[in-house]
Amino acid sequence: MKTARASFFGLGLAILTAACSSPMTGGPGTGGSGATGTAGTSGSCLASQMLCAGQCSDVSSDNNNCGSCGIPCAAGKTCQSGMCKCQSGLLDCNGSCVPSDATNCGSCGNACGANQVCSGTSCSSSCTGATPTACGTACCSTSQTCTNGACIDMGGGGTTGTGGTTGSGGSAGGTSGTTGKGGSTGTGGRGGAGGSAAGTGGSAGTGTGGSAAGTGGTTATAPKVITSANGAYWNTSGTIATSTGTATVTVNDGSALRAWEGFGGAFNELGWKDLMTLSQADRDNAMQMLFGTNGAHFGWGRIPIGASDYAINRYTEDETANDTALSNFSISQDMMYLIPYVNAAKAVNPNLKFWASPWTPPTWMKTFSGTVNGTSCANMGGSNFNGGCMNASASNLTTLANYFVKWIQAYKAQGIGIDYLAPQNEPNYSQGYPSCIWAPADYTKFTGQLGPALTSASLTTKVMLGTMSNGDSGSTSKDLMVVQAVMADATAKGVVNGNPMGLQWGMLDLAEGQSSGVTVPTSGVRVWATEHKCGNYPWITSAQAAKTAGNVPLPAIPAYVSSNAPNDQAYGVETWFYIRNAITYGQATAYNAWNMVLDAAGKGNDTVRSWDQDALLIVNAAKLTLTPAFYVFRHAAQFVHGGAASVVGTSGGDAIAFKNTDDGSVVAVMYNSGAANANYVVQIKGMKYQFSMPSNGWATVVVP
């Protein structure tokens, strides 16, 4: 980001699930009837309980606090021994409970052939022998019952109901609180033990798990060309033929430059709010365009931890001051917007992967006096969510690591796994939206602690060195100092080694070589472009011509428009430059859009500066519009199999190219800034192909 800018990261209807369906075949148990004890002046919960939001909860069986406070189980799962699990007999596939049937026979993605059924864990032509009962495309054993098309193990009791709340013990000489009574025993399922205090019985959902190749991209079966130009986006009717002419672009597909991990975008609350104003058909189309095989087919999603600058309101997951035990931790706000948004995307692309970052820690972990790296620690715009500096006391750093652990666990309980976690978004920008300044030494120390904390919690999430943005001052750039400190520290470097380094705005500019003589240390890490520049910059008051910085070509930049975000062809061209530069000059292995969806205004929650930001999809008056920038992303992403592809080099013209390592297909994406060319030639796999390239437009050519 520029020093003058603010960073921009930060429902089918949200369904807040109070309890999951019971894993039982018998009738529902009777609800608990215990009364809440009278609290004494001090005391604690029973040994088997945890104090969650002021009440004692048995986290081994509480569906709303499973394993720890504030971790609810997703619909279809129950809390069993402190873990959200599927009903016995069902499979947990991408976070959803699905039957073991012909689609997922014995394991996720193990599909049977046509007209076959799943018998035990193997595919068969019919249900015979020891598994005689047909149930949809599955065969139930004698110890199972067919419920809603799924074979469910018999013997499960009723779902645990909520017993009476345990009163707190009184202090010495005080009056003890009365212990609430537990719930009554539920009726046992056939052949099984009786349930504990019961909730309402219910069968497990039987949705079929989907599968997809790679984390994005679709495969062509013959050479094809798609072109776009102003007013004529995504034209699939063009013809492509072999040629003997001189190639404008040659793809060097014989050797890979580096692995390609994929394209993606950020989930923000305002985006989902805007999507919810659309008809179901238009909302479904929006999700297909972003995540479907016939759209951009994004393979990565960024999720904010707490409020971003495009959240509906300001919050963290625990704003109870000095709650070092995190007993008031809750993802209730996430359940309203972010999680439904993510789940809608997962329904389209079940292989979608996720990474996360906070815009601010809980405000009680910050200080608002003094300076860090020459930046004031005062809050911005009168809110302690905005600005301030991390108070890196030992207690705060330990608690913050635990806070991230709980957030990852809470999302995991919702069926959303987090591959990478960045400790802080833009750690050296204080803005009029959720933000926080970190001293390089404190960020380095915390990084060294965070990795072991994730490992100790048996989480597979890795720490990303990011997301770094403040790179506008060359060798003295403040986020560059953070990166240098981490990379020079053996402990912190060991945590991030082999993981992505998230760069954006000025820091990505430095990595591309736009500042002569300044380099970003990247040994042992992979460069991710973590935030696409959103265009329409308030500090650009008059149009800027195209230029070069170092050897890097930069786009023309229009003057700021203060009414609505332009979302026009000019921003489409800008978008091409940013993607091309990150891949060609910045050595990026992944590229992430910022806001995928916004309204026509494009404003966030910044209380200091108004900024109308561009996006990929626009919702205006309940109407969906695909922007030119979206089509540029689609040109680059749709046919590339993220996670199963390599970046390959090109020569001539203006192009980027990829080779899909799973099927050998090659994808070339080209931009033509000049006049239309009816005889444009690209050479791929040693063959030359000719097609008609539009003026000031793009073409994607795919050769199987």
Does 589 sit behind a cis peptide bond, omega within 30 degrees of 0 on the bond before it? no
Predicted local confidence at residue 121, as pLDDT? 87
Whole-model pTM: value is 0.79
Query: In 10 A of CB 551, how many CB atoms?
Result: 10
> What's the pLDDT at 268?
98
pLDDT confidence of residue 165: 39
CA pair distance 61, 49, nearest whole angstrom: 10
Ranges under pLDDT 70 in the chain: 1-43, 94-95, 130-131, 155-220
Supply the pLDDT for residue 569: 98
d(CA 584, CA 124): 50
Q: How far apart are CA 357 and CA 457, in angstroms?
A: 18
Asked if residues 486 and 441 have their Cβ atoms less than 8 Å apart, the reply is no
Q: What is the pLDDT of residue 50?
A: 86
In a 3-state reduction of DSSP, which class is residue 198?
A: strand
**What pLDDT does 218 receive?**
56
pLDDT at position 142, please? Answer: 85
Of 289, 229, 255, the residue nearest 637 (C-alpha): 289
The domain limits of the chain are 224-255+648-703, 262-540+592-626
Question: Scanning the structure block, which residue is given the tokens 């309203």?
Answer: 336
Domain 262-540+592-626 has CATH 3.20.20.80: yes
> In this predicted structure, what is the pLDDT of residue 24?
32
- How confident is the model at residue 155, as a pLDDT? 59
Exposed/middle/buried for 312, CB within 10 Å: 0-12, 13-18, 19+?
middle
φ and ψ at 9, to 5 degrees? -80, -125
Give CA–CA dist 388/407, Å, rounded: 22
- DSSP sequence for 309-332: TTSSS---S--STT-TT-TT---H
Distance, CA of 609 to CA of 603 (rounded, Å):
10
Please give the pLDDT value at position 152: 86
Residue 190 neighbours by CB under 8 Å, 6+ apart:
25, 26, 145, 154, 155
Tokens of 517: 């003589």
Angstrom distance (rounded) from CA 66 to CA 70 = 8
pLDDT digits (tens, 9 = 90+) for 52-83: 888 898 988 999 898 888 889 887 889 988 88
Distance CA 152, CA 144 (A): 5
Write the class of the CATH domain 224-255+648-703. Answer: mainly beta
Predicted confidence at residue 130, as pLDDT, reads 62
Supply the pLDDT for residue 217: 55
**What is the amino acid identity at position 118?**
C
Token pair of 610 as six digits? 């108004």
Taking each continuous run of H as one helix and of E as one strand, the counts in the chain are 11, 42
The closest of 296, 99, 293, 320 to 207, measured between CA atoms, is 99
